[in-house]
């Protein structure tokens, strides 16, 4: 599992402190390092910067943890021979992981779903329909974490996310990465005011983000890597003052566009730690650079810019942007989390 995903899961469940804490991610990394030093994890992978970015829980630790919390954790394999989860075990479950075999579909009748806090799925083909999502969103309105990601199969969700997702008002973490059939996000997503992280990596058919995205006032991370069908990024991003990580967002650098997110709209995003942008426009406007005030964003640790115009040179853009001292400029196709190549738009 990617370490930053693990930390986001801890955050979603409230294990790292209060939601408003500015340093939840740092606390999570400290906890991870402590557990790693005590052999809770194995099979570490280390990035170019010497930081562990992937590992897995030791098998013995995993089995023992499941034994201790067997009444709260439910792991289910859906095969042609199985039936939807029923009975007293699921009525007590808070954390549910479901693995869906090829040829099977996501269960649409989950006894005790109203008490679920966490839902993770693993599927081997397109197995989660819009109707199934609608049912689970109606049933499990206490969910804090929804992870439909799957890095071996890029077709496992339907093209439409149902509007009922807006009922998950407690949701902190939403991961739809790898869902290349999704075409749009419903405006009801903007009702998820407690959402902290949204990962849309690999949603290559996604055409637009909701215009009301500025309502997600607690959003700390947004990743839209390899979302090349997005027509624009809404102006509302400028209101996300809790944002710490914005990965592969498209930014206009040539003007203050009335609809599309532009460079100057970074003005109030002073909590940014990682900012990776794709720059649209043939020139960079001084007015937008001055309005962005990047030199005063002292929390900014890592920055990357990828110009779409052949008239612009990456190094010259970096110099013109007046980045703060100590900010590391990364190659425009390298992940800030673990130093491996992101599938950036081309």
Secondary element (H or E) of residue 246: strand 245-252
Question: Does residue 259 share a domain with residue 152?
Answer: no
Indicate if the pLDDT at residue 86 is higher than 70: no
Looking at residue 269, its pLDDT comes to 97
Q: Which of 68-72, 124-128, 219-223 has the highest mean pLDDT?
A: 219-223
**Position 299 in a domain:** yes
pLDDT confidence of 126, banded at 50, 70, 90? low
Q: Of 186, 205, 225, which marks where a domain is finished? A: 225
Question: Does residue 204 share a domain with residue 97?
Answer: yes
Looking at residue 345, its pLDDT comes to 30
**Position 77 in a domain:** yes
Indicate if the pLDDT at residue 245 is higher than 80: yes
Question: Does residue 278 share a domain with residue 221?
Answer: no
pLDDT confidence of 274, banded at 50, 70, 90? very high
Looking at residue 94, its pLDDT comes to 86
Q: Of 58, 79, 94, which marks where a domain is finished? A: 58
What mean pLDDT value characterizes the chain? 86
Question: Does residue 190 share a domain with residue 74?
Answer: yes
Question: Does residue 100 share a domain with residue 151?
Answer: yes
Tell me which of 277 and 17 has the higher pLDDT: 277
Indicate if the pLDDT at residue 346 is higher than 50: no
Q: For residues 36 and 42, what is the distance between their CA atoms, to the nearest angstrom? A: 8
Question: Does residue 317 share a domain with residue 237?
Answer: yes
Question: Does residue 243 share a domain with residue 176?
Answer: no
- For range 184-209, the mean pLDDT: 94
Residues counted in the chain: 346
Sign of CA dihedral 257, 261, 265, 266: negative
Tell me which of 71 and 33 has the higher pLDDT: 33
Q: Of 35, 58, 81, which marks where a domain is finished? A: 58
Question: Does residue 204 share a domain with residue 76?
Answer: yes
Looking at residue 276, its pLDDT comes to 96
- For range 185-195, the mean pLDDT: 96
Tell me which of 129 and 10 has the higher pLDDT: 10
Question: Does residue 98 share a domain with residue 203?
Answer: yes
Question: Does residue 216 share a domain with residue 106?
Answer: yes
Nearest to 3 by CA among 329, 343, 338: 338
Contact 227, 208 (CB under 8 A): no
Question: Does residue 238 share a domain with residue 111?
Answer: no
Long-range contacts formed by 291-296: CB under 8 A, 24+ apart? 291/256, 291/263, 291/264, 291/267, 292/263, 292/264, 292/265, 292/266, 292/267, 292/321, 293/266, 293/267, 294/266, 294/321, 294/322, 294/323, 294/324, 295/322, 295/323, 295/324, 296/270, 296/324
Range of the domain at 5: 1-58
Per the structure, the count of domains in the chain is 3
Contact 250, 261 (CB under 8 A): yes
pLDDT confidence of 155, banded at 50, 70, 90? low
- For range 101-108, the mean pLDDT: 75
Question: Does residue 271 share a domain with residue 218?
Answer: no
Least confident among 213-227, 269-283, 320-334:
320-334
Indicate if the pLDDT at residue 221 is higher than 90: yes
């Amino acid at each position: 599992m990617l370490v930053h995903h693990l930390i986001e899961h801890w955050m979603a469940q409230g294990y790292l402190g209060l939601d408003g804490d500015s340093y939840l991610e740092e606390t999570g990394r400290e906890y991870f390092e402590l557990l790693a030093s005590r052999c809770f994890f194995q099979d570490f992978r280390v990035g170019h910067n010497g930081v562990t970015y992937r590992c897995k829980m030791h098998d013995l630790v995993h089995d023992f943890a499941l034994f201790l919390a067997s009444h709260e954790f439910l792991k289910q394999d859906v095969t042609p021979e199985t039936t939807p989860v029923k009975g007293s075990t699921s009525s007590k479950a808070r954390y549910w992981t479901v693995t869906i075999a090829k040829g099977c579909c996501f269960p649409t009748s989950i006894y005790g779903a109203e008490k679920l806090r966490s839902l993770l799925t693993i599927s081997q083909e397109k197995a989660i329909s819009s109707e199934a999502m609608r049912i689970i969103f109606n049933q499990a309105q206490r969910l804090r974490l929804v992870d439909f990601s799957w890095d071996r199969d890029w077709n496992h969700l339907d093209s439409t996310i149902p509007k009922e997702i807006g009922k998950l008002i407690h949701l902190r973490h939403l991961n739809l990465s790898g869902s290349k059939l999704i075409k749009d996000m419903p405006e009801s997503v903007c009702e998820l005011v407690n959402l902290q992280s949204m990962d849309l990596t690999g949603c290559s058919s996604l055409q637009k983000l909701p215009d009301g995205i500025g309502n997600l006032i607690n959003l700390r991370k947004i990743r839209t890597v390899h979302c090349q069908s997005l027509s624009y990024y809404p102006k509302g991003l400028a209101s996300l003052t809790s944002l710490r990580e914005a990965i592969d967002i498209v930014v206009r650098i040539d003007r203050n566009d009335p609809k599309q997110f532009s460079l100057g709209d970074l003005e109030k995003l002073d909590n940014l730690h990682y900012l990776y942008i794709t720059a649209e426009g043939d020139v960079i406007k001084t007015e937008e650079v001055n309005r962005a005030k990047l030199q005063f964003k002292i929390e900014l640790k890592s920055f990357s810019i990828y110009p779409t115009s052949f008239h612009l040179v990456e190094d010259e853009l970096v110099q013109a942007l007046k980045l703060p001292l100590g900010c590391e400029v990364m190659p425009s196709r390298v992940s800030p989390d673990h130093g491996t190549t992101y599938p950036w738009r081309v």
